[in-house]
Amino acid sequence: MNRGNFPQNLTQVEFGCLLQNMSKGWRGIACLARLEFMTINYETNICVYCGSRDGLTRDHVPPKLLFPKPRPSDLITVPCCIDCNQLFQIDDSYFRTVITLTYDTGKHPEAQKSWGSEFRALQREESKAYRKAVFGKAQPAKIVHPDQTESPTAAIPIDCLRICRFAQRTVLGLFFHVKGYRLADIYTPRIFMNPFSPRTLSFSKFLAKEFDGEPKTIGKGVFAYHVKWFEEESLWILWFYEALPLICLVGPKS
Ligand SMILES: [Zn+2]
């Protein structure tokens, strides 16, 4: 059902944008086009990522491969087109590889249960190119423990673009799940701070105290999210294995 009739469904932010654009001298027809573009779209049979209405399936947010079997019954799914769904598959696999290998997240009991599936996926013949892309540039490194002892390990460069895309897609899906409509195209989620920095972890714990209520948790600590709303703009903390926070801001694209 599309309840996207103007102007009563506009949020304050959207209305503010409209007034701003009108004051810049947009001609009437352009204003109306812009108004329609900004109006909330309450359709539920629509890809929450690209807005397509064709070839829809359901997408798990976050992807179900992060949850070891038996999987929880409260996994979140949102409508998604097959093209977007297929586009996300490598990003999803990459994210699981990274967080099951990362020291702080990989020691979580649920991450350790996923390690068998991850290992089997990496061993497959068709994963050869993927293995090379992920591990080809591994470098010797060391882990410094809290008692200052050290363990040898290997470090792989992180593909930031994939992590950012993963975060962006997760927030778009959660936005739809929480609000019941697709994020308007004038907004976009952006990742904020390097999730692999220890400073991001301490900052996220500090920031979480400013949020209302407890984070929503799915699957024994595998995933949790916390959101603070500022009209259509919002601030999200996505927690993976209780040790990796992705902080995302949803704001205007420009
Ligand atoms: Zn799509």
Is residue 180 included in any domain, yes or no? no
Domain that holds residue 138: 56-155
Instruction: Specify the 3-state DSSP secondary structure of 123.
Output: helix
pLDDT the model gives residue 141: 86
How many angstroms separate the alpha carbon of residue 104 from the centre of ligand 1?
Answer: 33
* Range 224-246 average pLDDT: 92
pLDDT of residue 43: 79
| Long-range contacts of 88-93, Cβ-Cβ distance < 8 Å, separation of 24 or more | 88/59, 88/63, 88/166, 88/169, 90/130, 90/162, 91/162, 91/165, 91/166, 91/169, 92/63, 92/65, 92/66, 92/166, 93/65, 93/121, 93/130
Q: pLDDT tens digits, residue range 136-182?
A: 888 888 888 888 888 888 888 889 899 999 999 999 999 999 999 99
Q: Tens digits of per-residue pLDDT, 62-86?
A: 999 999 999 999 999 999 999 999 9
My answer on whether 83 and 145 are in the same domain is yes
Look at the chain and report how many structural domains it folds into.
2
What's the predicted TM-score (pTM) here? 0.81
Taking the centre of ligand 1 as the mean of its atom positions, its distance from the CA of residue 173, in whole angstroms, is 11
Position 217 in a domain: no
How far is the centre of ligand 1, averaged over its atoms, from the C-alpha of 209 (Å)? 35
pLDDT above 90 covers what percent of the chain? 53
251 part of a folded domain = no
CA of 226 to the centre of ligand 1 (A): 25
Task: Convert the pLDDT of each residue in 86-113 to its tens digit.
Answer: 999 999 999 999 998 887 888 899 989 9
Please check whether residue 138 lies inside any domain of the structure: yes
C-alpha 249 – ligand 1 centre gap (Å)? 21
Cα–ligand 1 centroid distance for 112 (angstroms): 32
Looking at the structure, do residues 61 and 96 belong to the same domain, yes or no? yes
Residue 195 lies in a domain: no
Are residue 23 and residue 114 in the same domain, yes or no? no
Whether cis (ω within 30° of 0) applies to the bond prior to 70 is: yes
For residue 17, pLDDT over 70 is answered with: no
* Pair 5, 70 in one domain: no
